[in-house]
Chains A and B, each alone.
Chain A
Amino acid sequence: MSHSPKQYSQIFLSFLERTPASEHKKFIRSFAELLEENNDLKNEDEILFAIEQALYHHQNKIKVEVTERKSNSVSVPKKIAGKDTEVRNMIDPVVLGGLRIKIGDTVIDNSLQTRIKNLKNALTKN
């Protein structure tokens, strides 16, 4: 690895700021080419994660993932802990009912799936 994911994210962020919005597409393409040139595409996952983190940090945002069984019925406040929320709604029938919210690294789980799993664990413990 010629640069660490952290370094890539810093490079990405600083150039993104300097590039006018109309040129963003071009810049992103050349960044992807740079990764390939440096033979760093194998670390794609880590680099993307680092860029995501850096962007959130830079924009003072926090990612909120809401997982429900069917419809998206939850309204998430605009700000959590002083940070703007960026909501991503997900539909996953596996949760069965209730919902699971992930704010940053914290998961608040009130899904029927987890409750049933807890019940199963407790009953089969002995």
Chain B
Amino acid sequence: MKDTESILNELKKEIADIKSGPTISNVGEVLRVGDGVAIIRGLSEVRYSEMLEFETKEGKILGLTLNLEESSVGAIVLGSTEKIKEGQTVKATGNILSIPVGENLIGRVINALGEPIDGGPALDQSKMKSYLLERIAPGVITRQSVNTPLQTGIKAIDAAIPIGRGQRELIIGDRQTGKTAIAIDTIINQGENSGGTVPICIYVAIGQKESKVAQIVEKLKQSGAMKYSIVVSAGASAPAALQYLAPYAGCAIGEYFMEKGQDALVVYDDLSKHAWAYRQISLLLRRPPGREAYPGDIFYLHSRLLERAAKLNKDFGGGSLTALPIIETQLGDISAYVPTNVISITDGQIYLEPELFYQGIRPAVNVGLSVSRVGSAAQTKAMKKVAGTLRLELAQFRELAAFAQFGQDLDSATRIKIDRGRRLTEILKQPQYLNMPFEKQVASIYVATNGLIDSVNIDQVSSFEQNFLKFLDNNYSNVLKDLRDKKELTEEIQIQLKAAVEDYLKNYGN
């Protein structure tokens, strides 16, 4: 217990800090409230997107103005609307919505307003900066083209659809096709296999089941990824207003790290639900509905968010913000309104197919329909070399795959191509949470594309791969080390890899 004098002194200091003069504020009163929106009259000087304070008996509830009309103001309520009553006073704060950001967010689970929801200690605001939720994306002058890879640890993606730091790559597919799995694998992979500096990973859950978010947080903790991750959660039970704001909050946190010169990765899981939340708010605010009842600015909703992903040039710190938005399609319909919008905004998409998923090809990436428009510039030389052949052979395989069903009467050249394609498909299979460092991916794909495993039975390819990589680790670790350091597939490494396969097949092969 402190002595009385020091307590009194503290109290005096606190009292002196309190504004004791008259307060001047712009006020209005609640006209209608319900379903997360409030219509307010008065507030003649309020600005668009300004924060409001509803004064309830239990304390203050925040609001955000979205509609400025002739005689009233439409606002979304960032809390429970039950406590707000008609006629209550609403104060304009004069501030635009912002959240506190800083290093101490790392490892925490927060809501869209930056308040911790993981039961941990309160955040020390003195070490944090205030960042606006809505900001203008970095301009042309500040940017640089993507040049560093973001290793996902997933062979099919790192080889065929590479992602660079600062890129926006959409993950799209039906429900239960492994979209979140790819995002989480990517976050986990940034720990040891990032192949450079470790980016700060921000996982934004929008309208997800709380149980799913809890599972993800647990998985990130188990794998040690929470040391460099932040989870922003606006679950299915959160008000639509918070679901609408969550991705902007995640993006603001990412921008903080980007502007410090660090790399950041934001996963928006998922933007379909974000669009639904915004549709709900817009309809309740009586904005005119358009196609699929979405409001007219649904494109701008996502474009202004994703445009904030960037790779800054050296003069501006050289940081980057990579965005992995996720879109859930209904029955594989990628030509619906929101999917086409987001496809056109992003720098490519990873398309997941339920058919592939049920055939056991997991990750169920459709390599033909997936593209990465800028990522290849960031690929390492070694990966580029093996991936070129991989993509070509897979394309040829897809063309011939239809014939394969008829079986017998195929000429040998066709049969070889089909067999090669099948083996490549096998090699690209990868279980969840088993991320692979870049050098092992290159080794695997190299042996497959160069026909070194043509003698291995198709159903044994994955077990061969596993054992062979173990064998490399034990007996040829110098090859892997060379690959990792040089990031190039030199003649010498190729010869050693070939020798290693022969050695392995001779000793352990079937």
The answer to whether B23 and A105 have CB atoms under 8 Å apart is no
The answer to whether A104 and B22 have CB atoms under 8 Å apart is no
Q: Which residue of A lies closest to B42 (CB)?
A: A105
A49 to B39 Cα, complex, angstroms: 14
The answer to whether A106 and B25 have CB atoms under 8 Å apart is yes
A114 to B18 Cα, complex, angstroms: 12
A104 to B44 Cα, complex, angstroms: 9
A107's contact among B15, B19, B20, B25, by CB below 8 Å, is which? B25
Tell me which residues from 15 to 36 in chain A have a Cβ below 8 Å from any Cβ of chain B. Answer: none
The answer to whether A105 and B17 have CB atoms under 8 Å apart is no
The answer to whether A102 and B27 have CB atoms under 8 Å apart is yes
The answer to whether A107 and B71 have CB atoms under 8 Å apart is no
Minimum C-beta distance from A52 to chain B (A): 10
Chain B residues with CB below 8 A from A114, complex form? 23
The answer to whether A122 and B14 have CB atoms under 8 Å apart is yes
Q: Does B3 contact A (CB under 8 A)?
A: no
Q: Does B120 contact A (CB under 8 A)?
A: no
The answer to whether A109 and B70 have CB atoms under 8 Å apart is no
Chain B residues with CB below 8 A from A108, complex form? 22-24
Q: Does A115 contact B (CB under 8 A)?
A: yes
Minimum C-beta distance from B257 to chain A (A): 28
The answer to whether A105 and B44 have CB atoms under 8 Å apart is yes
Tell me which residues from 34 to 90 in chain B have a Cβ below 8 Å from any Cβ of chain A. Answer: 41-45, 70-71
A26 to B19 Cα, complex, angstroms: 52
Q: Does A37 contact B (CB under 8 A)?
A: no
Q: Does A94 contact B (CB under 8 A)?
A: no
* Given A5-B71, A6-B71, A50-B71: A106 touches B18 (CB 8 Å cut-off): no
A34 to B44 Cα, complex, angstroms: 30
* Given A50-B71, A118-B18, A122-B18: A107 touches B27 (CB 8 Å cut-off): yes
B→A interface (CB under 8 Å): 11, 14-15, 17-28, 31, 41-45, 70-71
A→B interface (CB under 8 Å): 5-6, 45-46, 49-50, 53, 102, 104-110, 114-115, 118-119, 122-123
- Leading 5 A-B pairs by shortest Cβ distance: A110-B22, A105-B44, A105-B42, A122-B18, A109-B23
A-B contact pairs, 23 of them (CB 8 A): A45-B31, A46-B31, A46-B41, A46-B71, A49-B71, A53-B71, A105-B28, A105-B44, A106-B25, A106-B26, A106-B45, A107-B26, A107-B27, A108-B22, A109-B23, A109-B25, A110-B21, A114-B23, A118-B18, A118-B19, A119-B15, A119-B18, A122-B14
